[in-house]
Amino acid sequence: MSEHDDDIGGSGYSLEDLSAYLDRGRTPRIPAIERNAECQAILASMERMGRLSREIVDEQASEPIAESWYDSIMREVMREFRAGRDIPLARTDDGTELVVTEGALYELIRTVGDRIEGLLVGRVRLDQPEPDAPLDVTVTVSVRFGRAMTEAVDEMRDGIRSAIDRQGDLRVGRVDVTVGDVHIDEGEE
């Protein structure tokens, strides 16, 4: 266990610890990491980033990748997957409040995108100005060349709304999905 102050989700492990754990193939199994939702979200993001990085490196093997590229991605991962603020889901009759963290919602939204053919999720933003106000979601995506953009965006928007609606009493306001890029899958030219 790390002695760093950057404890992720109360697990006692830092981002560096999670990276090393993933590099070891998640062995030996560490229950404190495997049972922690925030750690799982970060590990999933690291795996996704690793896959995308390998694809980019394979695609652009002749061009060197700047170290700042990797650093900027890691900063974005850490920004998104810190637990963030608690967003209320429901309140019971005895006054107990059920909440979900921003980090968990980021991962939920990314999971929706992972299930949509030809779509890669980029930046995710959540906005809920007042505790009881609807949650507004803004997502930037990349769509595979040749995939109908309108169809992919509609599928992402509907998937986000449906996934969040299933989480409890959280109301969804606007869901803005912007295509910020077009990509080509491996083997296509």
Query: Per-residue DSSP letters for the chain?
Result: ----S--STTSS--HHHHHHHHHTTS-S--HHHHT-HHHHHHHHHHHHHHHHHHHHHHHTTTSPPPHHHHHHHHHHHHHHHS--SEEEEEE-TTS-EEEEEHHHHHHHHHHHHHTSTTEEEEEEEEE-SSTTSPEEEEEEEEEETTS-HHHHHHHHHHHHHHHHHTTSSPPEEEEEEEEEEEE--TT--
pTM above 0.75, yes or no: no
pLDDT digits (tens, 9 = 90+) for 137-170: 999 998 999 999 999 999 999 999 999 888 767 8
Q: Tell me what pLDDT residue 148 has.
A: 94
Low-confidence residues of the chain: pLDDT under 50 = 1-4
CATH fold for domain 85-189: Alpha-Beta Plaits (3.30.70)
Every domain of the chain and the residues it spans: 1-83, 85-189
Q: Tell me what pLDDT residue 24 has.
A: 84
